[in-house]
Chains A and B, each alone.
Chain A
Amino acid sequence: MSDGVGKRRGDGVSVTGWGARRGFALPLHLLQRSASILVAVTLTFFGLLLVTFLIGRVMPIDPVLAVVGDRATAELYQRTRVELGLDLPLYHQFYLYASKVLHGDFGRSVLTSNPVLSDIVRFFPATLELATLATIFGVALGVPLGVAAAANQDRWQDQIIRVVGLLGYSIPVFWLGLVGLLVFYARLGWVAGPGRLDVGYDDIIDPVTGLILVDSLLAGEWDVFVNALRHIALPAMLLGYFSLAYISRMTRSFMLEQLRQEYIVTARVKGLDEHHVVWRHAFGNILLPLVTVIALSYANLLEGSVLTETVFAWPGIGSYITNSLLNADMNAVLGGTIVVGVVFIGLNLASDMLYRLLDPRTR
């Protein structure tokens, strides 16, 4: 989760101001720009498919053997080979692969024998719940800390907040998770252990959204809600810390740039106290890039979920991919990669479009 993601735009995410638009008329050049973004995204998605396809073909394991086993007859082997389409030229195979993916067919999981997509749909909400909670935590704490650091630049508050943020870039999430479990679960007993719920609570509520916190509230099962909260608390705060590190760092950077501007001097000349200068004037100017940073942070968390879910036995898409990987279930691994990649691309796209639509400099 390096801040390289935030600097994606090539020339930094800084902006010195934005003005509100009056009326909804979208000028032609804006539509053109949106179209070009969509084209870029489509190409990126195409590239994603190509890379996953190639990875699937790069395997030293014979995919036919993976299906029929190594004691199959030559005839069965040939038949399966034709069935899997492996006798066709590579580009034809890619075409079949791509069209299947676009129809949502990621193949079957070798492990569970279910269609990979249905497995993924079952596992995804857990990751979603965790990432959302972590982002809320990261924003609620990260933004004020970043502002405080910028307002007190180079003083002790700034140094502490910066080091806390820096640690977030230096600590491996899986290790911190283990240490967290050791301290807060084993020694202090403040939180519950791995998994989403205690075993006894497993089948009490119907999965409406797949988000246990939401579902338990909808069903009115207060006990389940509390138990789920005790389970999600530690991993959410853990991921939230990493989100906080990124968000506070970017917030600080944006705020520092704003506090250097002339209009801040004007605000001080008017006799405003520092609190109003910082929050009413400077902060209003960073809202836009901040929103895009939050979207990117969310995307980063999806990546971080892979290792966190392993440590906390959290049944989300991260552990799905990891488990499939350890069991050589390539369909599942690739399918999971594509889904996470799509969400990643989608979030980047959303943040990009939001930024371009509202940035007055691109008008």
Chain B
Amino acid sequence: MALLEIEDLWVRFPGVRGPVEAVRGVDLSVGREKLGIVGESGSGKSCTGRSILRLLPRYATVTTRRAVFDGIDLAHASERDMRRIRGSRISMIMQDPKFSLNPVMTVGRQIAEAYLVHAEEESGAARRRTLEMLAAVRIRDPERIYGAYPHELSGGMGQRVMIAMMLITDPDLLIADEPCSALDVTVQMQVLAIIDDLVQRRGMGLIFISHDLNLVASFCDRVVVMYGGQIVETCAASELHEARHPYTRGLLAAMPRIDTPVDELPVLERDPAWLEPL
């Protein structure tokens, strides 16, 4: 049963020579599974993620034929309704904790705030929940981190704080917008493990946006490949090697494999026909 269903999503930005179409007719369906959206910069993947929560700037034009989350019409919901959904039913983790955390607030307070927005509790209960969440994201000294400022944390810790902040309200759907792109490779694995663990345990849906095809293929259940604002490929992660679209095949061929070394890695040849409306 699909948690989120989006049909024919279009995102346009005003440009000098006419509107720029960042997302062109995207259909998305996410259940309680891990869906990966892969694409290069400019493919429209981040815009897709943000348009679900209606977080794009005012000058962006977002149109969709249908956008339903758990029976709620996202396209026609009022801003007040959206605020009730944001953070409590759908959450989003962003790329770089250096920028996505408020520099002048302690980390603990920011996490507690996420809880207090949607719960009718006092700050004592919020603090307890925060410490629990910090422990759940495997932070060893939750008390100390509670009073720390974002610039005092490493990248991996900051991202874990972000996860804690976004999952403290037990949402049904998590959008992860390139959560590992700003992290070292070893830390990436740790953070991914935490996300995986929490998502599985709570039975959440996950939309994992990334430019790393390999990562998405190993981590997610289903993969969606975007190019030029459109979805060019949809398949199960296990069947990725049987992908049909030339763009996906090109990407797969360009990845180095340790078991089949080649003298020269093929370079992806872009066919302008891929930009044509599908």
Contact = CB atoms under 8 A, between A and B. Distances in A.
Q: Are A and B direct contacts in the complex by CB distance below 8 Å?
A: yes
Interface of A: 16-20, 261-263, 265-273, 281, 284-285, 360
B230 interface: no
B151 A17 contact: yes
B241 interface: no
Interface string B160-174: 001001100000000
A263 B114 contact: no
Interface stretch (B81-89, B203-211, B259-267): B81-89
A270 B114 CA distance: 5
A205 to B, nearest CB: 45
B117 A285 contact: no
Contacts of A271: 83-88, 114, 117-118
B187 interface: no
A17 B83 contact: no
21 contacts: A16-B103, A17-B150, A19-B103, A19-B149, A19-B151, A263-B99, A266-B100, A266-B102, A268-B86, A269-B53, A269-B87, A269-B94, A270-B86, A270-B87, A271-B84, A271-B88, A271-B117, A272-B87, A273-B83, A281-B105, A360-B151
Contact of A269 (B92, B102, B104): B92
Given A20-B149, A266-B94, A272 B117 contact: yes
Contacts of B150: 17
B113 interface: yes
Interface string B127-169: 0000000000000000000000111100000000010011000
Contact of A270 (B99, B105, B152, B165): B165
B226 interface: no
Contacts of B102: 17, 263, 266-267, 281, 284-285
Contacts of A20: 104, 149
Given A17-B151, A266-B165, A272-B117, 7 more contacts: A19-B152, A262-B94, A265-B55, A268-B55, A269-B86, A270-B165, A271-B85
A273 B83 CA distance: 7
Contacts of B248: none
Contacts of A16: 103
A281 B103 CA distance: 9
Nearest to B101: A263
Nearest to A15: B103
A262 B83 contact: no
Interface string B196-231: 000000000000000000000000000000000000
B108 to A, nearest CB: 14
Interface residues of B, number: 30
A285 B114 contact: no
Nearest to B148: A19
Interface string B169-207: 000000000000000000000000000000000000000
A162 to B, nearest CB: 18
Interface of B: 53, 55, 83-88, 91-92, 94, 96, 99-105, 113-114, 117-118, 149-152, 162, 165-166
A265 B53 CA distance: 11
B105 A284 contact: yes
Nearest to B151: A19
Contacts of A265: 55, 94, 100
A355 B232 CA distance: 52
Contacts of B166: 269
Contacts of B83: 271-273
B103 A18 contact: yes
Nearest to B100: A262
Contacts of B91: 269
Contacts of B149: 19-20
B96 A262 contact: yes
Nearest to A360: B151
Q: Which of A17, A262, A269, A273 has the most CB of B within 10 A?
A: A269
A333 to B, nearest CB: 46
A130 B103 CA distance: 37
Contacts of B162: 266
B159 to A, nearest CB: 12
A278 to B, nearest CB: 13
B148 to A, nearest CB: 9
B52 to A, nearest CB: 11
A14 to B, nearest CB: 13
A286 to B, nearest CB: 10
A6 B103 CA distance: 23
A266 B159 CA distance: 13
Query: Top 3 A-B pairs ranked by shortest CB distance?
Result: A17-B103, A271-B87, A262-B99
A265 B97 CA distance: 12
Nearest to A18: B104
B47 to A, nearest CB: 13
A276 to B, nearest CB: 8
Nearest to B50: A265
A269 B91 CA distance: 7
B154 to A, nearest CB: 15
Contacts of B152: 19
Nearest to A283: B104
B183 to A, nearest CB: 16
A330 B85 CA distance: 72
Nearest to A271: B87
A261 B55 contact: no
Contacts of A273: 83
B95 to A, nearest CB: 8
A153 to B, nearest CB: 9
A159 B76 CA distance: 30
Contacts of B118: 271
A247 B53 CA distance: 35
